[in-house]
Structure formats: C-alpha cells, structure tokens
Amino acid sequence: MAKTGTTTQGLRAAIERSGYYPALVAEAVEAAVGGEPVASYLVHQETTFDSNEVRRHVTVLVLTDNRFIVSHTDEQTADTDSPTPFATTSTESVKLDRISSVVLSRVVANPEKYVPGTLPREVVLTIGWGAVSRIDLEPAACGDPNCEADHGYTGSSTADDLSLRVSEAGDGPDTVRETLAFAQALSEATAATAATGR
C-alpha cells in the first residue's frame, strides 16, 4: 500500500491506514519532520517471504521545502538473542541540495502500442545522495585476444541510497500512480533547489 499527499494530517492518516505499527512509525517520522510543512509523502508497505517466515517492512518518504526524509521500519521475530519479537525504525534527513539523482524506471507492456498517459506496469524509484555507493569492478582487457598483459581493473560507481519498486500487479495501480507523483514532486523540488542555490 502506498499513499501520497501533502499534509501532516494526511501523512499520519496514511501511516495509520498502512496498519504497520502506526504509533511507532508515526512517532519516528513526525520527530524527523519536526515543525516543517509537508510538501509530499509516500507510504509503502512491503511483505516479503524469508524461508518459513513472513516479514513486513514499511518505507515512508517525506518531502518538505528543505529536506527529504526517509524512514524504514522492519520487524524481526524472536530468536536466541531476543526472546520477544521486535521492530527497528530508522530515519534519515537529507538536505535537498545533497540529492544527486532521482531515477525513475518505468516498465511498460507492448511498447509499440504505448499511449501517453498509460500507467506503467512497474516503477522503480532510485534516489541517491551519496550516503551509499556501489562499486562494480571487473578486469580490464584490450582488443587483442592473445594479449596476456595485466590491464588493471575497470568499473563504475553508482549512487544507491534508496531503491523502491512498486508494480501494478503486486501493489495496485494507485500505488504506481502515487509513486510517480512523489517522484515528480521530488524531482521538481531538487531542480528548484539547484536553480536557487538553497
């Protein structure tokens, strides 16, 4: 379930509708937002299956005039280290001028018949601000198939701070629309921040 909107009350209501430890999630998110007005938000709950266990996870993204706030809450089952189940909530606050990329990947069926405005069947929103980077290395080679020289390594570094995948089949069409709306609001906010130098 994903919900997007523009008010603090709407954010609280969306967290409560998700049904995923709403008091815990709301307290963490509201503490991070503080007194700033909410420009846009997205609440996305994801259920995964790990062996014989069902695990739930909720991500809350909030956009204010100056910051992007991301909150993750995960639940854990009881184990040898903890005799009772527990949940972990983390929030991160990022100044808008630190966001280096907002990548929105759309998957559409039958691209030859695509009509503008048609909802993608899947969307992946990736946001980078430099906290986490992934480096992919591989041995470098030259064009000579008989060359045995060591050419070192080549690779790429990719910002990979947050990646959120939603699909029409798994999450519903409203979730896809809401993710597109949040991505647009975040892209516009980062462009405005870059233009004004805030």
61 pairs with which residues across the strands?
42, 70
**Domains in the chain: boundaries:** 1-103+159-197
Rounded distance between C-alpha atoms, residue 88 and residue 73, angstroms: 6
Question: Which residue, 22, 18, 11, 25, is CA-closest to 88?
Answer: 25
| Per-residue pLDDT tens over the stretch 7-18 | 678 899 989 988
Q: Which residue has the tokens 């069926």?
A: 109
- Residue 170's alpha-carbon distances to 9, 40, 73, 74, 167, in angstroms, are 27, 23, 20, 19, 5
Predicted model pTM: 0.80
| Per-residue pLDDT tens over the stretch 8-61 | 788 999 899 888 899 999 999 999 999 899 999 999 988 766 667 677 889 999
Other Cβ atoms closer than 10 A to 105? 12
